[in-house]
Amino acid sequence: MPSGRVVVTGVGAVTPLGTGVDVFWPRLLAGESGVAPVTLLDVSEYTTRIAAEVKDFNAEDWLEKKEARRIDRTIALSCAAAAMAMTDCGLKVEGELAYEVGTLIGSGIGGLTTMGDQHTRLVEGGPSKVSPFMVPYMIPDMCSGYASIQHGLKGPNTCVVTACSTGANAIGDAYHIIKRGDAVAMLCGGAEAPINEMGMSGFCSMRAMTTRNDDPQGASRPFDADRDGFIIGEGAAVFMLEDLDFARARGAKIYGEVVGYGMTGDAHHITAPDPEASGAIRAMRKALQHAGLEPSQIGYINAHGTSTPLNDKMETKAIKEVFGDAAHSTPVSSTKSMIGHTLGAAGAIEALICLLAMRDGKLPPTINYTTPDPDCDLDYIPNVARDAQAAYTMSNSYGFGGHNVSLVFRRGSDV
């Protein structure tokens, strides 16, 4: 019988601040920015010409050379993060155990680079020029599919696509799969590689991104009065979740426990958040209810905090409504100020940040916070990381289509 408790035993990450947790985490705490002029494509005609690219990634470090050259970048980033998580957790998947370990790695958009490249081939050369790999490299579920194949995981193999909530939903849904006994362990998370012609032109047309091109490192400024849009980013984070009894029996190290998962719908607009914040409020309350916690017990919130005028105002309102008297004393930060908005990977990367913050007793800052906004008046850990012990943390994620997700984690040393 499953224990009903789910813990994190392995992690892997590829981010604009570095590949691997040991590279990424110190730079994040130091308040470094991964935002710079775009190098992955010619953006001279785009209104936004800066992004948070992964600079130190080589797909051939994780995939066979021929495959690494043709595979979509989203899948490659996911493969790297999944391999790190598998190594980190130390779980040997052999024999019958393979049927009890599954995969749930999502992408908000999927293989957008593949889609764009193959469309160009179609237009310029006709249908015979389209690659037979177009469909499998384009579909978002292939992040899970590749992980299953590479690591021999024959349990539940699925994915979730909920825009910028994808990574958070993947963790929450994997948590429920283990709780109900359909697997003893799940490799889960999110990945995204949207810095290409299709992604950049689409978001530029929406006027959703900052145009602060002359100040890349100061461009993402969540909760600041001068914020003018988000910075697009790329990356991946993958976790091994396990049933607590299973993890203990094999002597696994434990980063933390997933104790709360709330998800709701705005039913408001295809892109804009509900200004009344009702969906975000209900998601946080559901996560706290499932965790059996009072708001005052949360020691840190990793905010969705996109650096857009509407989102940051809405999320602040939601936190104040849910946390009440504790709102102004609860530290909140948006790490998108440093790594940009990695879309479908964001919820997973930010969940990882929550686990590391509890492990090390250090809360990452919101950089570029210089001009207070009367509508955003919480403790955003401005500009400098803070030493603080947090027994519980919360991560918020919101996506186009009105998806709202809140996750709550317990510190590993308390499990």
Full DSSP string of 338-391:
HH-B-GGGHHHHHHHHHHHHHHHTEE--BTT--SBBTTB-S---BSS-EE---S
Cα pseudo-dihedral 347, 72, 86, 93, rounded to 10: 120
**Taking the CB of residue 355, how many other CB atoms lie within 10 A of it?**
24
Tokens 């100020």 locate to: 337
Residue 164 annotated as catalytic: yes
Q: What is the pLDDT of residue 386?
A: 98
Burial 316-348 (b: 16+ CB within 10 A, else e): bbbbbbbbeeebeebbbbbbbbbbbbbbbbbbb
Number of H helices, E strands in the chain: 13, 15
Tell me the C-alpha distance between 259 and 362, whole Å: 21
One of 89, 143, 164, 188 is an active-site residue; which one? Answer: 164
Read off the tokens for 264: 């709701």
Which residues partner with 51 through β-bridges? 36
Q: What pLDDT does 158 receive? A: 98
The pLDDT, as a whole number, for residue 2 is 83
Which is nearest to 155 in space by CA: 179, 187, 180? Answer: 187
Query: Along the 415 residues of the chain, how does pLDDT read in single tens digits?
Result: 788 999 999 999 999 999 999 999 999 999 999 999 999 999 999 999 999 999 999 999 999 999 999 999 999 999 999 999 999 999 999 999 999 999 999 999 999 999 999 999 999 999 999 999 999 999 999 999 999 999 999 999 999 999 999 999 999 999 999 999 999 999 999 999 999 999 999 999 999 999 999 999 999 999 999 999 999 999 999 999 999 999 999 999 999 999 999 999 999 999 999 999 999 999 999 999 999 999 999 999 999 999 999 999 999 999 999 999 999 999 999 999 999 999 999 999 999 999 999 999 999 999 999 999 999 999 999 999 999 999 999 999 999 999 999 999 999 999 9
CA angle 302, 158, 357 (to 5 degrees): 20
How far is CA 27 from its chain centroid? Answer: 17
What pLDDT sits at residue 396? 98
Tell which residue, 283, 267, 108, 97, has the closest CA to residue 203: 108
Q: What is the DSSP string of 220-272?
A: --TTBTT---B-BB-EEEEEEEEEHHHHHHTT----EEEEEEEEEE--S-SSS
Q: Check 79, 89, 143, 304 and give the catalytic one.
A: 304
Our answer to whether residue 269 is catalytic in this structure is no
Give the pLDDT of residue 374.
Answer: 96
The tokens 């250090």 sit on which residue? Answer: 362
- Catalytically annotated residue among 89, 151, 341, 403: 341
Domains of the chain with CATH codes: 6-249 (3.40.47.10), 261-414 (3.40.47.10)
User: Which residues partner with 410 through β-bridges?
Assistant: 257, 392
Give the predicted TM-score (pTM) of the model: 0.98
Instruction: With CA atoms as reference, report the closest residue to 105 among 353, 349, 400.
Output: 349
Give the type of residue at 52.
A
The Cα–Cα gap between 73 and 322 comes to: 38
**C-alpha pair distances (Å), 221 with each of 42, 164, 204, 230, 308:** 25, 18, 18, 8, 9
